[in-house]
């Protein structure tokens, strides 16, 4: 069951901090729960899997489970001072290092020199979580490698990476692997529906299913789409299709208008004006790519064969590359052809 512990973006507000709050990844949940409950967690682990599949989230659950004041557990209380400090990212015993930014040897060496010190306060262990570990410098990884060779009994190190091949073979060998995968569609749908209900959204299941299809098994992306669609407010199929297939910030009203006009405007002048508004802010090629994605998304969700044929023809028109002068003129002509195709007045 989901819990909302923070405000702000949905993917942050509903981030799980206990195993019983996690959707999907049942094999991983069972493995890590077993490690914690049996007190057999490896002191060096590598969490491997695609971006956005929960590696860092699980690492934080491990940190909470190890230091929760109620005892070592896979379902920490999340209310004791130790848990609150970890959740609020101000625990002195849990260090999170971003391998993409704090990646130099000086930073890593300072952390490794401090880790052997005793845990603070009521904490039992010290935990180092390195996100995007594959981006550490060569010298930093060498220093880490020596530390992993003889990790203190009260220290746990978790490397999170979606590109393990960039790490040294010896580093990989010294860390027990945990392989993550994307969530299946039923888990993503269940997550979205629970969040929508908890937030009091006026949602419909067809649009939630569309979000599931576009999020590719990544909860972070799915919740981001849900937030944008709810912010737009209409929960219409047209608006949802536009947001899902183009990934455009909903605040870019010019782009939203272009997508809506192309589908439903009664006059070409409305579409033309919407296109000209977009070109004042967005490069022509970006506009072409976005419209191609939008029309492809419409094709994916078409129920009638005739609608599918029109969307496919329009998407084909927009996918045509152009390397000549004045690309905005060429794309405007393509937009007009799409406008005519979608209304059944032009065949290609």
Query: What are the boundaries of each domain within the chain?
Result: 10-179, 184-235, 252-348
Q: Can you give the pLDDT at residue 249? A: 45
**Which segments of the chain does DSSP mark as H helices, in order?**
10-13, 26-37, 55-67, 81-87, 105-114, 138-149, 169-173, 185-198, 205-215, 219-232, 237-246, 253-264, 268-279, 284-300, 305-318, 327-342
Average the pLDDT over 83-108 and give the result: 90
Residue 319 clears pLDDT 80, i.e. is over it:
yes
Q: Is the pLDDT assigned to residue 228 strictly greater than 80?
A: yes
Looking at the structure, give the CATH architecture of the domain made up of residues 184-235: Orthogonal Bundle (1.10)
Query: Per-residue pLDDT tens for 157-179?
Result: 999 999 999 999 999 999 999 99
Q: Which distant-in-sequence residues (6+ apart) come within 8 Å of 234 by Cβ? A: none
Residue 165: how many CB atoms within 10 A of its CB? 8
Q: What is the pLDDT of residue 252?
A: 53
Whether the predicted pLDDT of 99 surpasses 90:
no
Q: Select, from the ranges 151-155, 247-251, 291-295, 316-320, the one with the highest average predicted confidence (pLDDT).
A: 151-155
Average pLDDT along the chain = 90
Q: How far apart are CA 259 and CA 256, in angstroms?
A: 5
Confidence (pLDDT) at 246: 62
Four-point Cα dihedral 124, 3, 223, 55, nearest 10: 20
DSSP character at residue 161: E
CATH topology of domain 10-179: Rossmann fold (3.40.50)
CA distance 263 to 272: 13
Give alpha helix (H) positions in 45-168. 55-67, 81-87, 105-114, 138-149
Task: Select from 176, 146, 137 the least CA-distant residue to 159.
Answer: 176
Sign of CA dihedral 132, 137, 140, 142: positive
Give the residues across from 156 on adjacent strands. 127
- Over residues 170-225, the pLDDT tens digits come to 999 999 999 998 899 999 999 999 999 999 999 999 999 989 988 888 899 899 99
pLDDT at res. 250 = 38
- Chain centroid to Cα 341, Å, comes to 35
**Cβ(54)–Cβ(160) below 8 Å:** no
Please name which of 152, 163, 157, 154 lies closest in space to residue 176, comparing C-alpha atoms.
157
Q: Is the dihedral of CA 204, 221, 218, 67 positive or negative?
A: negative
Is pLDDT at 37 greater than 90 in this prediction? yes
Structure-block tokens of residue 155:
């220290």
Average confidence (pLDDT) over 236-255:
67
pLDDT at 50: 87
Q: What is the pTM of this model?
A: 0.73
């Amino acid at each position: 069951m989901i819990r909302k512990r923070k405000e702000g973006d949905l993917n942050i507000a509903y981030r799980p901090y206990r195993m019983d709050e996690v959707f999907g990844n049942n094999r991983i949940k069972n493995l890590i729960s077993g490690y914690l409950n049996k007190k057999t967690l490896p002191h060096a682990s590598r969490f491997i899997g695609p971006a956005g599949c929960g590696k860092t989230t699980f690492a934080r659950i491990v940190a909470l489970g190890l230091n929760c004041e109620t005892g070592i557990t896979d379902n920490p209380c999340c209310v004791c001072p130790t848990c609150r400090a970890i959740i609020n990212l101000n625990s002195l015993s849990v260090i999170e290092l971003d391998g993409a930014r704090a990646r130099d040897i000086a930073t890593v060496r300072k952390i490794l020199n401090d880790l052997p010190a005793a845990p603070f306060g009521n904490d039992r262990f010290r935990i180092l979580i390195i996100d995007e570990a594959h981006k550490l410098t060569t010298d930093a990884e060498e220093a880490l490698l020596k530390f992993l060779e003889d990790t203190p009994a009260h220290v746990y190190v978790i490397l999170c990476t979606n590109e393990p091949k960039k790490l040294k073979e010896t580093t990989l060998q010294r860390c027990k692997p945990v392989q993550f995968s994307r969530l299946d569609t039923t888990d993503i749908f269940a997550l979205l529906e629970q969040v929508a209900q908890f937030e009091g959204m006026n949602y419909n299941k067809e649009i939630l299913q569309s979000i599931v299809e576009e999020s590719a098994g990544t909860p972070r992306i799915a919740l981001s789409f849900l937030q944008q669609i709810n912010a737009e407010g209409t929960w219409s199929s047209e608006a949802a299709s536009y947001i899902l297939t183009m990934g455009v910030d909903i605040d870019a009203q010019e782009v939203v208008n272009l997508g809506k006009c192309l589908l439903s405007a009664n006059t070409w002048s409305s579409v033309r004006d919407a296109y000209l508004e977009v070109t004042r802010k967005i490069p022509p090629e970006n506009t072409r790519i976005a419209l191609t994605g939008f029309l492809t998304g419409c094709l994916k969700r078409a129920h009638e064969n005739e609608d599918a044929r029109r969307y496919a023809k329009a998407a084909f028109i927009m996918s045509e590359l152009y390397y000549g002068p004045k690309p905005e003129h060429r794309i405007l002509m393509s937009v007009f052809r799409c406008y005519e195709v979608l209304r059944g007045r032009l065949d290609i």
